Structure 1
Amino acid sequence: MERCSILALLSAAVLIMSSLGVEGWSSYNTEVFQVGGKVMCQDCSKDWNQWAHGAAPIPGSKVAVTCMDARARVVYHTSDLADAEGEFDLSVTKNVDGIEIEPENCAVRLVSSGSATCNLMTDFGGGKSGVSLHRPTQVYPGVIKYTVGPFYFTTPQCDLPDNGPQ
């Protein structure tokens, strides 16, 4: 009997969650949505374990969000600096001059490093090429937040030379 109750609850939860598609998030009547993440330094001169798991935050790194309209024109751009833990948190206004901003038409990317020694952009986590927003990581009444990254910089000595076609 108890097992049937658990299955019924799980089924109800799946039905509710599946009905909350992108259309469901718009019902939260927020005027902004949040974009957050982290900027880290990976140093290839360390041993493999330190390189893979020992990335350090880069305070002062700049990250930007650019949003396009349906005709692929930039309608919104904002940026933020990472805090002491390398974390950033951007607020994006959903309505700009009567144009509704769709999170799916926004991309987040690295702009600059806050470090003099770890300042070479990488595309680990999509930071160099940019990451599109797809599904929010937090949805509460009054709060819609997307989390991206982490994004990484590395040291110039870790840069691989471009050998061109072989």
Structure 2
Amino acid sequence: MKMAWSMVLLVAAATMMSIAECWEEVPTNGVTTGVIRVGGKVLCQDCTEGWNEWVDGQKPIEGCVVSVICMDERKRVSYYGSDKTDKAGEYELTINKYIHGKEIKPEACFTRLVSSPDPICNIPTDFAGGKTGVKLGRPTLVYRDMIKHVLSPFYYTTPMCDEPDTNDDEQQNNY
């Protein structure tokens, strides 16, 4: 009987040790993992259409280039990447959280439009910050070692819709 209890206790102890090992962090020799994903859409908005077509008539643009630039604490570029949109006008960039041993901080990254292959709809707008760039703020999804930012759609428009800059800048008039 004592032998049976000893075996049961031995098996229970071995089981508990193997369960405890599952929760231990696996050493990575100083290499930390994780990714930041940035995604969204690029659409064409044509102002020459009627109101209903203008509001609901945006179409995706395939082949647009969208970039992500991340800065370090000294305001130097620590990451630059770009992606082209697919047929649905969607892009998604994956950034390693650690590059050369330094952590990329999402709040120091911004995303912007770079170019459009569409011969008619190729003027970037600042609607949703596409022209000047939008900083990554609160993530849309956080799961284990992944942080995902889904941004509002960026828009291009036609040259006819582009408003000229009519600001009278004093610095331009100084000779």
The two structures have a TM-score, normalised by structure 2, of 0.75
Query: Which structure is larger by alpha-carbon Rg, 1 or 2?
Result: 2
Aligned residues: 138
Aligned partners of 2:34 and 2:146 also within 8 Å: no
Matched, 1:121 2:124: yes
| Corresponding residue for residue 139 of structure 1 | 142
Matched, 1:98 2:98: no
Deviation at 1:143, TM superposition (A): 2.9
Q: Give the secondary-structure state (helix, strand or coil) at the position aligned to 1:116.
A: coil
Query: Relative to structure 2, which stretch is displaced further, 93-102 or 60-69?
Result: 93-102
How far apart in 2 are the matches of 1:154 and 1:82? 16
Q: Which runs of 5+ in 1 are unaligned?
A: 1-28
**Aligned-pair RMSD on alpha carbons?**
1.5
How far apart in 2 are the matches of 1:45 and 1:83? 25
1:114–1:149: structure 2 CA closer, same or farther, 3 Å change rule?
farther
| Corresponding residue for residue 52 of structure 2 | 49
How far apart in 2 are the matches of 1:152 and 1:160? 15
How far apart in 1 are the matches of 2:165 and 2:112? 23
Deviation at 1:30, TM superposition (A): 4.9
| Corresponding residue for residue 70 of structure 2 | 67
The two structures have a TM-score, normalised by structure 1, of 0.79
What is the identity, as a one-letter code, of the residue corresponding to 1:146?
H
Aligned partners of 1:107 and 1:132 also within 8 Å: yes
| Corresponding residue for residue 83 of structure 1 | 86
Deviation at 1:139, TM superposition (A): 1.7
Deviation at 1:144, TM superposition (A): 1.8
